[in-house]
Amino acid sequence: MNMFHGSANSRWVTIAATVLLGALIAGCEGDDGRDGADGTDGTNGAPGTAGPGGTPGINCWDLNQNGVADLATEDTNKDGKVDVNDCRTTGSNDPATFHKTYFTDNAYTSTAQCLNCHGWLAAEVMKTGHWKQEGMVGSIVGPVDLRGTVHGKKDLINNFCQAVPSNEGRCSQCHIGIGWVDKNFDFNNPRNIDCLVCHDQTGTYKKVQTPSADGKVPAGGPDPTVDLQKVAQSVGLNKGSPPRSSCVSVCHSRAGGDDNVKHGDLNSRFALVAPTNPDADPKTYLTRAEDVHMGIDPKATGTQPKGGNMACVACHQVDKDAAGNVQSHGIGGFAYHSVDEGVMKDCTDCHPDRTSIHAATSAAVVVNLGAHKRLACQACHVPAISRKVATYTDWRWSSAGLAARPADCAAEPLGPDAQGAGRPTWVQIKGCFKWGTNVRPVLRFHNGTWNRRVMGVSDKFAPGTGTAAAPVDLGSPAATYKDADAMIYPFKKMTGNQPADATNNTVLVPHLWGKVTGPNPFWRPAGATTGYFNWDLSLVDGAAYSGSYKAQNQQVYSGSFKFVDTVMLLKVDHEIPPAEQALGMNSRCTDCHGKNSAGQDQVDWVALGWSADPLSGGTRPD
């Protein structure tokens, strides 16, 4: 009985334990708690490889969509060829009406819309130096003869912003593409072309200086303030030919980072439109006094000189056939960077020969002297540059990154901008500048050939050079008076200093902007308030990236740097004033054969091969 009773108790204990365990288990199956806060995003992975190109779209003229130009049925305008002009419907055969109508009915979205009709032109654009930023060299002969090889702005070194590689995201503000931020940019994708930057007729288009932090606006993309619909509607005006505003205000006046700082003879005022009111304020347009070719005198009447109001492309022409049809998108006048792809007009293409045009003028005696037969027109007709808007004449990168303007950087003179306001002589991210106005160009013999320095190819300099007395030549005309085809031309002289390897005497390219191409840009990224401005680390980055486009451009940084003096000569052809301001008018020999206000020769005779002013007894070996 006791035994039976014990067994019963055991069973009840087992049952109770089982029930309790079940209750406990059931208690573990309550509602889920609230989700915790999201963790921080991980770093983005490396970009994947680009997918294969899509199937070509259907051309707008391809009515039966067979991919073949059928002259009998698809030459709708009966001009003997099938092209984009056959896409236009009745009543909209002129480019202005067609584009205005199309972009009124359809929102502008991207370059892809341009390619629907003009896709064949994209292939032309992508062959040009304007697009590739390089080309087959035809004019660089020193210090290494590069003719027949491919080079250009992608690997040339200058003494302004120094070079493009590792700084593409900032340089893209002047490229005719959208999205070029590093070596991964696809130069073979026509959708990356920025058609509007050249063909805008409103004068309102502009690019962002740098890509937006949120990624919504790519490098070189249109500024968010631009009315793209209005711009797209305008591109057919003037037959789509680029106006001065597109060439000047978006890109070429701002070469070097600010208005007129680089070339000195092309400022943002050249983008201004001629007035319709003859009493308009001269501040609002480019006057004939500033440039006789592109400026205008709205009050001129009768036979009074009015000014040409010419577009840039009047002289910097694309290649055309004998009938005037456009052959390519290559532009004339690109030789300083490597390749001249179009037609570059010269003075004698429009003006009579020098003897007849100066006959019965006060300059006739000066012009017709046998000793002056090698003077190019510009030598006398560009007596000064930067007459309204100042230009850099010297740039000291060694002063960049300091907490304040150093004592050896003069606080004045300030550099007048297009509105007349002064610009400072020192900026923390760039260093110290010297501004010049009414700058007299230097004269040199020139036959179209150049000396230029290329990363990894001709970037080394001789020991003992790199000083103020013997600066490293980064760009200069290669000819001398001994070259029979060379004439005397005017050049802007630009001096400065920049970093170089102290061990292997190499002009180095620093990484200045952004973290896309390296972790240590010299300039502080947006939002950073401390750190950066470290030359050593920026040179490590720059050297590591330097061979990204071509292995031959690879630079080696030893870990020790110094600042070396450099010099460049940039040919000047703009800012031609009225003829009465030319040198030698009224037979003024002293315009050249005399001293300036500082007691120095007006002309560097030694650079022209003379021992001194020939009128003062100078000699030159034959």
**What CA–CA distance (Å, rounded) separates 311 from 271?**
9
Count the helix, strand and coil residues of the chain and give each as a percent rounded to the nearest 5. 25, 15, 60
- How would residue 215 be classed by pLDDT, with cut points 50, 70 and 90? confident
Distance CA 197, CA 169 (A): 17
Q: Which residue has the higher pLDDT, 585 or 50?
A: 585
Question: Is pLDDT of 67 > 90?
Answer: no
Task: Select the highest-mean-pLDDT range: 37-41, 365-369, 405-409.
Answer: 405-409
d(CA 433, CA 397): 9
Q: How far is CA 108 from the centre of its chain?
A: 26
Tell me what pLDDT residue 427 has. Answer: 97
Q: Which of 271, 301, 300 is nearest to 286 (CA)?
A: 271
CB neighbours of residue 6 within 10 Å: 10
- For the segment 605-614, what is each residue's pLDDT rounded down to a tens digit? 999 999 999 9
**Model confidence at 18: pLDDT above 60:** no
Q: What percent of the chain has pLDDT over 70?
A: 91
Question: Tokens representing 601?
Answer: 């020769």
The pLDDT of 453-473, averaged and rounded, is 98
| CB count in 10 Å sphere of residue 412 | 9
- Specify the higher pLDDT residue, 335 or 382: 382
Backbone angles phi, psi at 246, to 5 degrees: -65, -45
Enter the tokens of residue 39: 């963790």
Residue 534: what pLDDT? 98
pLDDT score for 607: 98
* Four-CA torsion 128, 320, 249, 266, nearest 10 degrees: 100
Lowest mean pLDDT among 302-311, 336-345, 530-539: 336-345
Q: Give, as one character, the DSSP assignment of residue 34.
A: P
Task: Count CB-CB contacts under 10 A for residue 580.
Answer: 10
How far apart are alpha carbons 110 and 195 in whole angstroms?
9
Asked if residues 334 and 135 have their Cβ atoms less than 8 Å apart, the reply is yes
* Statement: residue 340 has pLDDT above 80: no
Average of pLDDT values for 119-128?
91
Coil, strand or helix at 270 = helix
- What number is the average pLDDT over the span 455-473? 98
pLDDT bracket for residue 7 (50, 70, 90):
very low
Identify the pLDDT of residue 9.
47
Find residue 373's DSSP bridge partners: none
| The two three-digit tokens of residue 382, written as one number | 């560009």
Terminal C-alpha separation, the chain? 143
Rounded to the nearest 5 degrees, what angle is found at the Cα of 405, between the Cα atoms of 401 and 406?
Answer: 95
Indicate the pLDDT class of residue 33, thresholds 50, 70 and 90. Answer: low
Q: How large is the average pLDDT for residues 95-120?
A: 93
Summarize pLDDT for 550-605 with one digit per residue, the tens.
Answer: 999 999 999 999 999 999 999 999 999 999 999 999 999 999 999 998 999 999 99
DSSP 371: G
Confidence of residue 17 (pLDDT cuts 50, 70, 90): very low
The answer to whether the CB of 374 falls within 8 A of the CB of 386 is no
Residue 139 pLDDT = 93
Examine the pLDDT at 399 and tell me if it is beyond 70: yes
pLDDT band (50, 70, 90) for residue 2: very low
Q: What is the pLDDT of residue 93?
A: 65
What is the Rg, in whole angstroms, of the alpha carbon atoms belonging to the chain? 32
Q: Is the dihedral of CA 290, 291, 296, 301 positive or negative?
A: positive
pLDDT reported for residue 337: 64
Average pLDDT, the chain: 90
At 279-308, the pLDDT tens digits run 999 999 999 999 999 999 999 999 999 999
d(CA 270, CA 312): 10
Q: What is the pLDDT of residue 15?
A: 43
203 with 237: CB under 8 angstroms?
A: no
For 307-319, write each residue's pLDDT tens digit.
999 999 999 998 8
31 secondary structure, DSSP code: P
The helix (H) or strand (E) run that includes residue 25 is helix 2-27
Phi, psi of 571 (to 5 degrees): -65, 140
- Interval 146-160: pLDDT, tens: 999 999 999 999 999
Per-residue confidence at 527, pLDDT binned at 50, 70, 90?
A: confident
CA 304, 310, 316, 319: dihedral to nearest 10 degrees?
A: -110
CB contact at 8 A, 61 and 87: yes
8 A C-beta contact, residue 447 and residue 485: yes
Note whether 243 and 201 are within 8 A (CB): yes
How high is the pLDDT of residue 449? 95
For the chain, percent of residues with pLDDT exceeding 90: 75
Angle at CA of residue 354, ends 348 and 355, nearest 5°: 140
pLDDT by residue (tens digit) across 234-286?
999 999 999 999 999 999 999 999 999 999 999 999 999 999 999 999 999 99
Q: What is the pLDDT of residue 25?
A: 43
- Residue 79's pLDDT is what? 79
**Is residue 333 very low, low, confident or very high in pLDDT (cuts 50, 70, 90)?**
confident
35 burial (CB, 10 Å; 0-12 / 13-18 / 19+) is exposed
* Both tokens assigned to 429: 């991210």
CA distance 292 to 585: 17
Residues 34-40 have a mean pLDDT of: 70
Instruction: Compute φ and ψ for 559, nearest 5 degrees.
Output: 100, 0
Distance CA 509, CA 25 (A): 70
